[in-house]
Structure 1
Amino acid sequence: MSSFASDFPGAVRLSVLDRSRVREGEEPGRALRETVLLAREVEALGYHRFWVSEHHGVPGVAGSAPTVLAAAVAAATSTVRVGTGGVMLPNHRPFVVAEQFGVLESLFPGRIDMGVGRSLGFTDGVRRALGHDKEEAGRFGEQLAELLGWFTGGQTAHPGVHARPAEGLRVPPFVLAMGEGASIAAEAGLPLVIGDLRGRSRLLAAVEAYRSAFRPSAWAAEPYVVVAGTVAVAGDEEEARRLLVPEAWAMAHARTRGDYPPLAPAGRIEALEMTPKQRGFYEDGLRGHLYGTEERVAEELERVVKETGAQEVLVTTSTYDRAALAESFRRLAHAVGLRAPVPPARPGQSGPTG
């Protein structure tokens, strides 16, 4: 690893979102188990949060039940914050979501985050199977207000009903959004998770609008911005760029064939004969991400933080080679000067003071 001294702002947090991406030739269960193992690795490196995602009926993604997976991650770790990026409210009843996070917070007090979003199922068939349609996304603000009300005891949609054990607990809520969703986060006075890093002008406009419209709430006194995106770090720029290849091809495949496949090895993808349309989507999928050596990525991340004023960066990188992905996270942690956390004291032991 490089020995350069990082100038990355020390107050900015660095976190990870893992989508439990399936690799070619493996069963989905392995992807879920690897997510738990990755959480332990990034915790040891000093990352602030580790979040999991929600996808339904997608061949290339195993994470369909984020609160269940978050429980497994929290049980396998001890210091990193654990949450969802996110639970998609249009797919669920807010009452049930509150109950699930109430259970998580009760089992792992002080370590659970509740990230929620407004996306729907990947296809019409999946949306029908979930029992919802595209119009549900338009009710996100209403659903969000009800969800928060189950924790405060202030919900009015169902008088006399209480979410147990959620009521009275403080589980930090985050809104995953762009555009309209960002305005909902501002109105509700909640932290915003926004991406991706490729559409920088759109990202900056949404962040500015969020900050301008933010209304302090019982959940957050000031705007809090988490910018999300792909970051790949390796010994040289070309090696880092190759980490982006599997996901770029999966997106190109999805946009031209209608399904989102498991990740394939970069070498096989680079040898493929693509149609012009596929090639266009593939090349587009490689552009705009942050990748390169430690020095270059640290400089680029510092620029992103200065432009957006973000308090946190959520890294969403996926690739076929899990060892290379783990190395990328190690290099990134070194590049920005993360430090390993102090483990909590065991029962009967004295913890550090202060």
Structure 2
Amino acid sequence: MRLSVLDRSHVGRGLSPQQALRDTVRFAQQVEDLGYHRFWVAEHHSVPGVAGAAPTVLAAAVAAATSRIRAGTGGVMLPNHQPLVVAEQFGVLGSLFPDRIDVGLGRSVGFTDGIRRALGRGKEDADRFGEQLAELLTYLDGRQSAGVHAVPAEGLDLPVFLLATGSGASTAAEFGLPLVIAAAHGDDRMIRTIEQYRADFRPSAQASEPYVVLARSIAVAGSTERAERLLVPEAWATAYSRTHGEFPPLESPEQVLAREMSDRQRAQFERALRGHLFGTPDEVAAGLAELVARTGADEVLVTTTAHDPADRLDSYRLLSELSPAG
């Protein structure tokens, strides 16, 4: 089972976004030494608690600082960009770091009206995702689009992955792309979506058969209680964002648990603590084996958001020792 990493460059309370980005690059070097297969970065705009706003730029920094691990995006939100520009950016990455770059794409647009206006986009742009994806793949395949070439992307080996949001799974099947999927609405619904993706999959130049990357939040520690505490900072930030409309910098577990929460915040906080895989190495190994057996996943894309970078690295180290990666 391949194990890979998705890092969102979270900002800790009292630290700067600049430090978070430098920590992401350092973290990529550390997990490369642990044997992880890919290291992906994400795209978020105007989020105080997340520094990753330019994923292709950050992926370049990650690739430059490492030598073996694949670098990529999880993902570039295609409705925010012109397909030609995306193709050219990944063409530059693929030229500088041959056979190490992944093109992970999503269909989300800016989170608020203000962000969408700043990006020059509207909610309706997500409806053009299929059209944009087809144009991007044309550029990457080396075919002309209205006489335009995406130099230097043409002819490069640039694997394209599609993040499943909304109709993303059916789009991945239609275009013959590997699918990246999380259990946003529960495991049962996710499994039905995966089954439908496999049934509808059309082989393409990108993939001859279905390929499923399961995105999961995982925390491993010496005790179940310690592992669950690693989840507390992001759970609170998620709860706060749902009651205040803004994802804040991460606080320590101690700071979060000492907070006075309203009933609504408490309910959101407890909801945000659900759906993760956490525990001791033996507990996580058993849970992961069951999950992979149920989904038939080809790869697991792991997110571990902890306030303390040392705790996060320890979790990834323990996880890497459960199953060979790569």
Question: What TM-score do the two structures reach when normalised by structure 1?
Answer: 0.90
Q: Give the conservation status (yes or no) of the 8 Å contact 1:198–1:288.
A: no
Counterpart for residue 275 of structure 2: 288
Matching residue's letter, 1:31:
A
Note the residue ranges of structure 2 that are not aligned, 5 or more in a row.
none
Q: Give the conservation status (yes or no) of the 8 Å contact 1:197–1:228.
A: no
Check if 1:134 corresponds to 2:123: yes
| Mapping for residues 69-218 of structure 1, pairs under 5 Å | 69-156=58-145, 159-196=146-183, 199-218=186-205
Residue 69 of structure 1, CA deviation: 0.3
Counterpart for residue 232 of structure 1: 219
Counterpart for residue 24 of structure 2: 35
Cα distance in 2 for residues equivalent to 1:74 and 1:338: 19
Secondary structure of 1:83's counterpart equals strand
Residue 153 of structure 1, CA deviation: 2.6
Cα distance in 2 for residues equivalent to 1:327 and 1:133: 41
Cα distance in 2 for residues equivalent to 1:334 and 1:153: 41
Cα distance in 1 for residues equivalent to 2:166 and 2:90: 26
Note the residue ranges of structure 1 that are not aligned, 5 or more in a row.
1-11, 340-354
Secondary structure of 1:202's counterpart equals helix
Check if 1:263 corresponds to 2:250: yes
Cα distance in 1 for residues equivalent to 2:141 and 2:8: 30
Q: Runs ≥4 in structure 1, deviation > 3 angstroms?
A: none
Task: Determine which of 254, 266, 271 is the counterpart of 1:279.
Answer: 266
Secondary structure of 1:282's counterpart equals helix
Residue 198 of structure 1, CA deviation: 6.8
Matching residue's letter, 1:286:
L
Counterpart for residue 2 of structure 2: 13
Matching residue's letter, 2:151:
R
Cα distance in 2 for residues equivalent to 1:197 and 1:98: 29
Check if 1:61 corresponds to 2:57: no
Task: Determine which of 247, 261, 269 is the counterpart of 2:234.
Answer: 247
Deviates more, 1:160-169 or 1:306-315: 160-169
Q: Give the conservation status (yes or no) of the 8 Å contact 2:181–2:213.
A: yes
Residue 205 of structure 1, CA deviation: 1.2
Residue 155 of structure 1, CA deviation: 4.5
Secondary structure of 1:58's counterpart equals coil
Q: Give the conservation status (yes or no) of the 8 Å contact 1:182–1:210.
A: yes
Q: Give the conservation status (yes or no) of the 8 Å contact 1:197–1:230.
A: no
Q: Give the conservation status (yes or no) of the 8 Å contact 1:198–1:287.
A: no
Cα distance in 2 for residues equivalent to 1:45 and 1:198: 31
Cα distance in 1 for residues equivalent to 2:249 and 2:275: 23
Q: Give the conservation status (yes or no) of the 8 Å contact 2:9–2:52.
A: yes
Q: Give the conservation status (yes or no) of the 8 Å contact 1:23–1:263.
A: yes
Deviates more, 1:165-174 or 1:233-242: 165-174
1:225-246 alpha-carbon deviations (Å, 9 max, x no partner): 0000100000000000000000
What is the aligned-residue identity percentage? 62
Residue 338 of structure 1, CA deviation: 4.1
Q: Give the conservation status (yes or no) of the 8 Å contact 2:2–2:324.
A: no
Matching residue's letter, 2:70:
R
Deviates more, 1:119-128 or 1:198-207: 198-207
Distance 1:332 1:197, change over 3 A: farther
Matching residue's letter, 1:85:
G
Counterpart for residue 293 of structure 2: 306
Matching residue's letter, 2:224:
E
Larger CA Rg, structure 1 vs 2: 1
1:165-219 alpha-carbon deviations (Å, 9 max, x no partner): 0112120000001341110000000000000377101110110111111000011
Q: Give the conservation status (yes or no) of the 8 Å contact 2:106–2:165.
A: no
Distance 1:174 1:338, change over 3 A: closer
Matching residue's letter, 2:248:
P
